[in-house]
Structure 1
Amino acid sequence: MLQTRPDLGAPKPYTFPKPRRLTVGGGTVVAIDVPGQAFASVRLVHPSGGAAEAPESMGVAALTNEALEDGVHGNSSLAPALERHGAEWVSRVTWDGFITGVDAPANRLDDATALLAEAVRSPALRDEDVLRRRDQILERFWLDASVPSTLATRAVGGQLFTGRYATPLSGAPERLKSVDPQTVRDFHASSIAAVAGTLVVVGDLSGVDLEELGSAVFGDAGAPQDAEPTAPGPAPGELPRVVVLDRPDSVQSALLMAHRAPARSQVDLPRADGVSDVLGGMFTSRLNLELRERLGYTYGAGCRFDLRRDSGVFLVSTQVDTETTAHSLTASLAEIERLRTDGVTEGELSAVRESNTVGLPVTYSTARSLAGALVEMVVHDLPEDHIDRLRAGFEALTADDLARAAQEYLRPSEMVTVIAGDAKRLEGPLAEAGAGPVTVRDPETLWS
C-alpha cells in the first residue's frame, strides 16, 4: 500500500559560512572550517587573467596555467606526485583570474599544498614541455571549433569588442604560435611567482595551521599591484547585425545572440540573473517554452550573463535545423521584446526566487563548491557575506524589479547575432528576417 506523501515544510533559512581571513607575508588566506568535511579544497588566486595580456602574447596565461602541471621535474610530473596523497590538481584561467589548486584529503592537506606551492613557485617550464602544451592547445582549438556552438561562442568577442576580448581566451592560433617558452617563463616570473595572491582553504581544518600553510605557498612573494579596470572599446560595425560563419552543407545552425553588458561591479545581480532566468535560464523559461515546446525547433535554448571586472556580455544560445534558423532568431527577439514590454508574471517571479534560494544548502554542501564561491569573491572583490546578500536580494525581488531589469539589461537593438551554419541556405532568409545586415565569414579566417 502506497503511503501518503508528507507535506513539505517551509525551507530553512540558509546562511553562508563566515570565512576566516588572515594576512600572511605578501598574501591573504581566506578559509572556511567545515567540521567533518574530510576532503578539502585549496585554491590559489592570482589577478593575472587573460584580460591583462599584451597583444603580442595573447594566450600566455592559459599556456602557463597548463604548463604548471608538468611540475618541478617536467614531463607531467605533478599528477603522479599528487596521487600519492590522494590529491587532484585543479587549475583554470578566466578573463580576470589565474587559479590553481588541489583537492585532497584533509589529513594530507599539508603534503598536497606543498606540491601546489612547488608547482606554482618553481615549475620546470622546460622548452619541450611548454612547446608540447602549446601544440596541444593549438590542436584542441580547432578540434573544439569544429563544434558549431563552440565556434560561434569564440567568434562573438570579435563582434563586440576591440582589444584583448576580440580574441578567444586561449589566444588566436596565429598569435599563440609566437608565444615561446621564454615568454611563458617571463610571464610566470613577473605575474605568478613574484605575486603572493590569495589562498582559499575549505574543509575540516582542525589541526591545520593556516598561517604556516600560507607561508609555505606565498614564500617571499609580494602583494599584487592594484589595477584600475578600463572598459574595452566596442567593435566597429552597424548594430544590430548578423554574422554567418559558413559551414557548407551543415544541416543545423548554432545560433548565438549577444550584446555588451555592464561590468560585474555595476550589475544588480539578483535583478540581472532573475530576468535572465525568466528569459532563458530555467527549463520553464520563455525561450525554452517557445523554441522547444511550442515550435519544436530545438532540444533547448538558454541565456546568461558573462560578467567581468571591466565589462560583460549577455548571451542567448540554441541549436536548430537550418530551415528554422531565421524564424528561431525572430522568435527569440520577439520573446525579448515581449519581456521588455510586458514584464514578468507572478509565477515566473516565484520560480526565480525559489530556484535561487531553496537549493542553496545543496549548492554549497561540498568543500569544492564553497571554495568556488570564495574564489569568485576574491576575483571580483566581493564582501564576505556576498552569498547572503545575494539570497536576500532574490527573496526581496518584485515583479516591478524584474520589469525594470528587462528594460535596463536586455538591449536587442545592440544585438550581434553569430550563426555557424550553411551560409548558402541561410543568407537569404536571414536578410529577410530584418535583424540587421548579414555578413558571411570563413571560420578559418577569423583569427588569422
Structure 2
Amino acid sequence: MSMLQPRPTLGDASPYTFPKARRLQVGGGTVVAIDVPGQPYAAVRLVQPAGGTSEPLDQMGVAALANEALEDGPEGNSSLAPALEQYGAEWVSRVTWDSFVTGVDAPASRIADATALFAEAVRAPALRDDDVIRRRDQLVERFWLEASMASTVAARAIGGQLFTGRYATPLSGGPANLQQLTPEIVREFHAGSVAAVAGTLVVVGDLSGVDLEKIGRTVFGDAQPTPSRSTTAPEGAPGELPRVLVLDRPGSVQSALVLAHRAPARSEIDLPRANGMSDVLGGMFTSRLNMELRERLGYTYGVGCRFDLRRDSGVFFISTQVEGPTTAHSVTASLEQIERLRNEGVTDGELSAVRESNTVGLPVGYSTARSLASALVEAVVHDLPEDHVDQLRAGFERITAEDLHQAARDYLHPSEFVIIVAGDAKEVAGPLEEIGVGPVTVRDPEALWA
C-alpha cells in the first residue's frame, strides 16, 4: 500500500499590507515606530541628512570617516561594541549620498538600556585624535584593498564619468581626500551635522511596554529639528557620449564591464515600471542579458543591472565580468539586447515573472524588524509616504506589458552610455575602438583619485 500523501493544492497568494506606523513628535525629532507583537528583537535607526552630498568639497569623505569613528564609542578605543554586548545589542551604521544612519539591533526587553548607550555614542562620542587617525588609515587601506578588484574599480569610476562636483569622487572620499581630514575636521562635522541635529528615529519590534516618548527624549535630547533639504540636479561630466573608458590592468585575463548613464531622481521615477523593466533586462536569472551573455555565449558567470536612485539624481548601470577577449563583443551584445527591449517590448512570461518576483515574496522580505526598519528609513530619506511599500506592490500588481515596454523607451538611453572597462588595455582597447561605440580613452586606475 502506498504511503505517499497527495500533494496539497496551492491557493492564491495572500495580499500583503505593510504594517501601519505610529508617528510622534518628541522635542526636535520625530519617532516613527512599528509594533510587531511577538518580534523579540528590535531595530532602532536614527536617520539624519548628513550624507555625502552634505560635505564641503574640500572635506570629501568626512561623513564616512565620522560614521566609522562613532564605533569607538563614548570612551574611545573601540569601546562601543563590548558595551553594547552587555545588552545583547549590535551597532549598525552606514552613510549614503543622502543620509547618515546609525542604530542598534537589540532584544526588545533591553531596548531602553541599549538605546541610552546608543544615544551617548551618537551625541557625545570621544572622537579622540588617535582613534580618528586609526579609522582614517583603515578607510584608506580598505579603499586600496577593494580597488584590487576590477569590478570595484569600474564601479567607482562611474561617478567621475557621469557627474561633476561631489558625485565625481567616491562616497568614501578617496585616499587623497581622506588623508587631508584631521581629527578637528571630523569633530567639527560631527558637532554641526550629527550631534546638533535631532533627525528621525525609527523603532521596530515588539513594543509592548516600551515608552517611545522616553526613548525619543533620550536620543534627541536638546538637538535642533532637522533642517529642510533642497535638491538641485548635479551637472553632468563633460565629454562626448557615448564613450569608452579603459582602466588599464596589465595582464588581467578578465574585464570588469560597466555600462552606465544618468537616471531620474527617486521622486521623479515610476519605480514599478523602472524596476520591472530592469528585472527583464538584467535583474533576474532569466533576464535578457543573463540568457545572452551567460547561457548562450558563455562569456560570464552572471550579469546584472539596477537603478541607483538619490534625492537629486540617479544612475542606471549594467555590470558584469567577462573573459578579456570577449570584452568588445560583450558590449555590442548588451547594446543589442537593450535595443531589442526598447523596440519589441516584453513577453507574457517576462511580465508574469516581474509581477510574481515583486509581490509574492513580500511577506518574507518584510518578516524581520531589520527589513521593516529599512523600509521606514527609505521613506524618511526620500520623503516617501508611509504606505510606499503598498503603493509599490499595487503598482507591480497592475503593471502591463505596455508599461514595461514604455519604461524601456523612457529609462534606457544607449546614446548616453559611458562604458567603463577595467582590464588589459593592450588586449581590449583595439577591439573596443573597432566596434565604434564611441571614443576610447585609456587611464591608469590608481591615478583616478590621486
TM-score where L is the length of structure 2: 0.99
Q: For the residues of structure 1 that align with 2:51 and 2:211, how far apart are their CA atoms? A: 29
Residue 286 of structure 1 is matched in structure 2 by 288
**Deviation readout 1:68-103 (Å, 9 max, x if unpaired):** 000000000000000111100000000000000000
Residue 241 of structure 2 is matched in structure 1 by 239
Residue 155 of structure 2 is matched in structure 1 by 153
Q: Post-superposition shift, 1:352?
A: 0.3
Q: For the residues of structure 2 that align with 1:425 and 1:290, how far apart are their CA atoms? A: 23
Three-state SS of the structure 1 residue aligned to 2:43 is strand
Residues 295-310 of structure 1 correspond to what in structure 2 (within 5 A)?
295-310=297-312
Three-state SS of the structure 2 residue aligned to 1:316 is strand
* 2:314 is the alignment partner of 1:315: no
Residue 12 of structure 1 is matched in structure 2 by 14
Residue 195 of structure 1 is matched in structure 2 by 197
* 2:128 is the alignment partner of 1:126: yes
Q: Which residue identity does 1:15 align to in structure 2?
A: T
* Residues 308-317 or 3-12, more deviating: 3-12
Q: For the residues of structure 2 that align with 1:303 and 1:330, how far apart are their CA atoms? A: 16
Residue 94 of structure 2 is matched in structure 1 by 92
Residue 411 of structure 1 is matched in structure 2 by 413
| Residue of 398, 401, 421 corresponding to 1:399 | 401
Q: For the residues of structure 1 that align with 2:408 and 2:6, how far apart are their CA atoms? A: 42
Q: Post-superposition shift, 1:324?
A: 0.6
| Residue of 255, 258, 272 corresponding to 1:256 | 258
- Unpaired segments ≥5 residues, structure 1: none
| Residue of 43, 46, 49 corresponding to 2:45 | 43
Structure 1 segments, 4+ long, off by >4 Å, are none
Q: For the residues of structure 2 that align with 1:297 and 1:8, how far apart are their CA atoms? A: 39
Q: Which residue identity does 2:10 align to in structure 1?
A: L
Q: Which residue identity does 1:264 align to in structure 2?
A: R
Residues 92-241 of structure 1 correspond to what in structure 2 (within 5 A)?
92-241=94-243
Q: For the residues of structure 1 that align with 2:73 and 2:370, how far apart are their CA atoms? A: 23
Q: Which residue identity does 1:438 align to in structure 2?
A: V
**Deviation readout 1:365-414 (Å, 9 max, x if unpaired):** 00000001000000001001100000000001011111110000000100
Q: Which residue identity does 2:121 align to in structure 1?
A: A
**Deviation readout 1:265-312 (Å, 9 max, x if unpaired):** 000000000000000000110000000111111110000000000000
| Residue of 357, 360, 373 corresponding to 1:358 | 360
Percent of pairs identical after alignment? Answer: 75
Three-state SS of the structure 1 residue aligned to 2:306 is strand
Three-state SS of the structure 2 residue aligned to 1:11 is coil
Q: Which residue identity does 1:278 align to in structure 2?
A: V
Q: Post-superposition shift, 1:435?
A: 1.5
Residue 265 of structure 1 is matched in structure 2 by 267
Q: For the residues of structure 1 that align with 2:83 and 2:232, how far apart are their CA atoms? A: 41
Q: Post-superposition shift, 1:7?
A: 2.3
Q: Which residue identity does 2:404 align to in structure 1?
A: L
Residue 429 of structure 1 is matched in structure 2 by 431
Q: For the residues of structure 1 that align with 2:435 and 2:35, how far apart are their CA atoms? A: 56
Q: Which residue identity does 1:236 align to in structure 2?
A: P
TM-score where L is the length of structure 1: 0.99
Q: For the residues of structure 2 that align with 1:435 and 1:200, how far apart are their CA atoms? A: 47
Q: Which residue identity does 1:126 align to in structure 2?
A: R
Q: Which residue identity does 1:210 align to in structure 2?
A: L
Q: Which residue identity does 1:441 align to in structure 2?
A: R
* Residues 221-230 or 241-250, more deviating: 221-230
Q: Which residue identity does 1:328 align to in structure 2?
A: S
Q: Post-superposition shift, 1:172?
A: 1.6
Q: For the residues of structure 2 that align with 1:344 and 1:3, how far apart are their CA atoms? A: 40
Three-state SS of the structure 1 residue aligned to 2:292 is helix
Q: Post-superposition shift, 1:52?
A: 1.6
* 2:366 is the alignment partner of 1:373: no
Q: Which residue identity does 1:45 align to in structure 2?
A: V
Three-state SS of the structure 2 residue aligned to 1:165 is helix
Q: Post-superposition shift, 1:2?
A: 4.2
- Unpaired segments ≥5 residues, structure 2: none
Residue 340 of structure 1 is matched in structure 2 by 342
Residue 277 of structure 1 is matched in structure 2 by 279
Q: For the residues of structure 2 that align with 1:418 and 1:353, how far apart are their CA atoms? A: 32
Q: For the residues of structure 2 that align with 1:105 and 1:434, how far apart are their CA atoms? A: 59
Q: For the residues of structure 2 that align with 1:74 and 1:248, how far apart are their CA atoms? A: 43
Q: Which residue identity does 2:254 align to in structure 1?
A: Q
Q: Which residue identity does 2:335 align to in structure 1?
A: L
Kindly report the root-mean-square deviation, in angstroms, between the aligned alpha carbons of the 2 structures.
Answer: 0.7
Residue 73 of structure 1 is matched in structure 2 by 75
Q: For the residues of structure 1 that align with 2:137 and 2:330, how far apart are their CA atoms? A: 38
| Residue of 330, 335, 344 corresponding to 1:328 | 330
